[in-house]
A and B are shown apart, each in its own frame.
Chain A
Amino acid sequence: MNENEANEARLSGWLAQHGAIVRRLSRVYATDAADRQDLHQEMLIQLWRSLPSYRGQARDSTWIYRVCLNTALTWKRAWQRRQALVVVSANASAAPEAVRASPAEIQEHSQQLEILLDAMRTLPAGECSLLVLALEGVTHREIGEILGMTENHVGVALLRARRKLSALLMETNDEL
């Protein structure tokens, strides 16, 4: 197996195990469908380009969060549009998670998710990143490793971000 094939195998392994992370992150940082697609593809490309640097120095998920968040936070929409290079058309089957819930539950969760995303997008990008990782269920320690913050700082900043998010969600519910 040559290097490219080995990297392809590793990337498909990552996508099988953590593909949902990439999709969820692209959904947070890009609002419309076209941007979301652009950002998702950009994240996949950056993951591919990061493979030669990956020597197992971090957990796979930590590495993926870092590369994808770095891509999202430094992503220039207009520039990406101009490049218009990437069209990934994977016609893969639905992820196992998708069949866990009933259609009604999925719809309810999707609606809740939209409310959550709308609220999160109004927050500053840094706080948004903290909340994304907390929602993903990542520990404070790992959030610190991903974002480059101390564990204590993560705790304090996350508490502040959660309070802001709660206030925003309450406002939204009032409006609803």
Chain B
Amino acid sequence: MSFEKWQEAWREGSASGANGGEGAALRRMAHEVRGKARSFERAIAWRDARESLGSLLVGAVFGWVAWLNWSAGRPSWTCWIAAVLAFAVAAFLLVDRLRARRNVRPRGDAVAAELERAIAEGRHQYWLLTNVLWWYLLPLGVSVGMIALHVMLYSSQALLVRSFVALAMTGATLALYFGLWRLNRRVADGELRSWIVELEDRRRQLTG
């Protein structure tokens, strides 16, 4: 069978059950696509906000505690550091998400260029996941550690109680963060790494 015959089969065979149509039906479809695209954008915006919301809340609570201590004339430097670190993580996440959102809008570029951008984005995500300790876990861990230190240094409770609270906070944070670190590494070295390799293969096939 010649290539021209396959071309014919390609056009005619895939024409059956077509989603085409005319006039009102197509306008309705376009209107529906517009609505769904808007939902899509909203879902992405909410996901991005949610990622930063945790750190923002932690920062707000620690900041509020710091302000209470400061206005009552009690030592507050540990809580201020804790709040600033949590806010810094939230700001980092927000900036990164905003940058990523700009990159995902389709620009009608040639496929090779788009693959290049997707690879760059994949590598950036890989970097974020493999370095989650430095930009997320460590600052937030130090932030919680500052609160534990505050309890140890300035609480009016008995030393034993203070030590227990500080150790419990530190231990729980370390256990949670170790789990998060493992999870991030697994995603990065598993599906994300193989996804990047797949995209690189596709680019190589096109560009030789």
Contacts and interface: CB of A to CB of B under 8 A. Distances in A.
Contacts of A19: 18-21, 26
A47 to B, nearest CB: 8
- Determine the interface band of chain B, counting residues with CB < 8 A from chain A: 35 or more
B1 A169 contact: yes
A114 B113 CA distance: 31
Interface size bracket, A side: 35 or more
B37 interface: yes
B36 A45 contact: yes
Tell me if B's interface is mostly helix, strand, loop or mixed.
helix
Contacts of A71: 106
B206 A148 contact: yes
Contacts of A85: 36, 39-40, 43
Interface string A49-72: 110011001100001001101110
Q: Chain A at the B interface: mostly helix, strand, loop or mixed?
A: helix
Contact of A20 (B3, B9, B18, B195): B18
A135 B22 contact: no
B107 A53 contact: yes
Given A16-B26, A94-B20, A97-B18, A124 B108 contact: no
11 contacts: A8-B34, A19-B18, A74-B114, A85-B40, A92-B19, A93-B20, A100-B12, A113-B9, A124-B201, A148-B109, A149-B207
